[in-house]
Amino acid sequence: MKESDQSSSPQELTEEDQGHIREVFYHEVVPKLIKLNARLGTLNCGFAGERYKHWSSQFRSVGSSFDIVAFERDEDGDPIDLDL
């Protein structure tokens, strides 16, 4: 995919983008959500890199882990620090 193709459609996340966000979510964010006893919510995807700072993910608990259930474009979103 050409770089111009990637930037031409900022309203869409590719399957590759979603996979990357999910991978970082499971490895870096889920342990923090477990410590915080989270159940569901929405997080800015900036945790997966600067490129995703205008996206948010909705998550919910599933057993002892979490799933991302949706992505949404959010121009005004800000990352949240989960290191409390």
DSSP 55-67: EEEEEEEETTEEE
User: How many domains does one find in the chain?
Assistant: 1
pLDDT value at residue 75: 86
Asked if pLDDT for residue 2 goes beyond 60, the answer is: no
Alpha-carbon distance values, 33 to 6, 16, 36, 76 (Å): 31, 24, 5, 23
Task: Give the range of the structural domain holding residue 44, as residue numbers without chain letter.
Answer: 13-73
Is 80 among the domain residues? Answer: no
pLDDT value at residue 1: 39
Q: What is the pTM of this model?
A: 0.81
For the chain, give the mean pLDDT. 86
Is 43 among the domain residues? Answer: yes
Is 24 among the domain residues? Answer: yes
Is 27 among the domain residues? Answer: yes
Is 64 among the domain residues? Answer: yes
pLDDT value at residue 6: 42
In the block, residue with structure tokens 């005004």: 76
pLDDT value at residue 9: 43
